[in-house]
Structure 1
């Protein structure tokens, strides 16, 4: 993975047991346009507090990320540790402290081993390489079973550009910022304000549309940086054709990473999506889809390959979405089991267990399309509006 204008490196600082990589650095050759979105949890880790404040300027030049220690619930000492680490990496890079964004992931409540991190920084800086992002994806893993990366190459006019991202996350995954770290890089020339607009729009269609276990964390961070090396005309209007082209690429990378996080859900054996078609509007569709997707009873039905459509109907009914129960159709994959709010018959329900997607446990290196059982609720006689959720089922 190479994004013009960025270099990256990873190293073992001894935060984790053994010699696993647990410290990472990504730098831009000059201050880059930057935007971020952070956890909605009232309990926020020290690096979240610092990075959120520093990103108010819309510029950043370095990300310093550690895994194995969340540096959360560590009080003033935690803030001092995050500040000190970012201060020293700024000195090594000869850039202002305010351009360094710290991030952490790992165990909550343990003090950050600042001495180990500071000792590893010189080697980290010397190892910076344009091809280092793949190593960083490995270094930020905690309970993940595979590194999560995504890259798309495209064009803005005659200018080729790249959007690439890395992420970690497997547990404490839920909307309102799914628990994760995600870092996305591009060489597009774009204003910080427009970059944040596109980031927030993409979040609503990706990381805020996934759930595994219903928990949210103290360290959720999604940051995007743009080096401007593509030399395109500066993107600064959200309604421009060039801006929309870039937004499409950014959102595709975000969605790809979000799905990978679900597939790697802790203990996950099923990956499925809920599609609601025909809701009054997007808000109503989201209510319906979210309630079905996060229902424990629906999850257990998927686990057992049980076409218990009553659980879906009940979830829809308590979702707050407006619909006529006598106009609902429900499908399990290609099999329709409910028409106009009533069962089609036992034979249709039995077909659900024969879906090839449910024959074997979730294989993490298989195409997503081969792993999804589709739950489709059609709320008829209303406006067409489709939204979906991806869920990793825990057993």
Structure 2
């Protein structure tokens, strides 16, 4: 993780104007490979977050916290100039190129208007700088330091591991760790700090094209389907995998995760598109377990006590259909019944025309059980 090297100020609110001056004095060098611009941004970013945490934990009312956020903390510092400087350093083969590439991978998500391109640019640059060196992946997955030491050190090995794995799969299958690198990218490529869906795609496409006898597709499809964020390319890969191949378990798993990703997008879809998205999800989910209903699904569920439990394909088909139909915006509520405290059974249909708050309690959740009415 790239960190600022500044000293902690006595009063955080004083640092922001100081860093703004530093940023302004280096702005003229935005098109130049000037690391000072990145450092100035990191200083601003660190101070902003420290002040934000101070306000959040202060023993003051919510109105006062909001006032301080608006008047003292302000908006998050703009990252654009720092991104330009980092790109320039890489293009000029500057001595801070590795750090600049890591900066683009780690700091741009959610802040840079060109974040997707910045991350991929940084990943490609770091892959070229490090080369297909498996030791970076090995250091990340089998750390010599303990977990707590890595946690407090910021774990700088994530971006390097991702970039080295990308360099390996880019060799077209000639590296002896091609399969391992591809699996690492699928499993960790998006969730690791500095990662992106592009890593997942690079890994899964490598397995598909360069490992013809690959035998762990359900597990890989699970990781692909769980990739965070919107990605048309991932959605297309899953729907393609759902329609092809001779293994019904692979097709069913791909259908489940393609439907699951669509289901997650229903609520955020525009009003005039939501119905079509729901129908596509229902089409994919309906009948996915046909002929293999009792086959074990790749992901574990939870039993009534919250313990991991095996699921069949019939189980997950039923559950995802219920989610799509009843737990998304515009869906209908299933007609279920419950017993009131006075012993009378009452169904949801009895409340037609009224606004009903349905409060769900987990039977394995201690605080939930403690809060149940006696």
TM over 0.5, shorter chain: no
Give the TM-score range, shorter chain: under 0.3
Rg (Cα) greater in structure: 2
The structure carrying a bigger helix percent of its residues is 2
TM-score, reference length from structure 1: 0.26
Greater RCO, CA 8 A, separation 6+: 1
The structure carrying a bigger strand percent of its residues is 1
TM-score, reference length from structure 2: 0.27
